[in-house]
Amino acid sequence: MNTKTDNYHIEISGLSIEVVRKDIKHFYIGVHPPNGQVRVSAPLRLDDDAVRMAIISRLGWIRRKQASFAKQERQSEREYVSGESHYFAGKRYRLKVTEQDCPPTVCLLNNTRIGLVVRPGTDRAKREVVLYEWYREHLRTQLPPLIAKWEQKMELTVNEVRIKKMKTLWGSCNIEAKRIWLNLELAKKPKSCLVYVLVHEMVHLLERHHNDRFRELMDHFLPQWRTYRDTLNRAPLAHEDWGY
Domain with CATH 3.30.2010.10 in the chain: 85-234
71/167 Cα distance (integer angstroms):
19
Contact 150, 194 (CB under 8 A): no
pLDDT in tens, 153-180: 999 999 999 999 987 789 999 999 999 9
- The confidence score (pLDDT) of residue 237 equals 58
Looking at 38-47, 88-97, 219-228, which range is the least confident one? Answer: 38-47
Query: Is the pLDDT confidence value at 31 over 60?
Result: yes
CB distance 12 to 56 below 8 Å: yes
State if pTM tops 0.75. no
Confidence of residue 244 (pLDDT cuts 50, 70, 90): very low
Range 85-234 has CATH code 3.20.20.70: no
Return the pLDDT at 74.
59
Confidence of residue 98 (pLDDT cuts 50, 70, 90): very high
Is the pLDDT at 69 greater than 80, yes or no? no
What residues have CB less than 8 Å from 137, skipping those under 6 apart? Answer: none
In whole angstroms, give the CA distance from residue 224 to residue 232. Answer: 13
Give the per-residue pLDDT at 67: 82
**Higher-scoring residue by pLDDT: 54, 34:** 54
Check if the beta carbon of residue 84 is closer than 8 Å to that of residue 95. Answer: yes
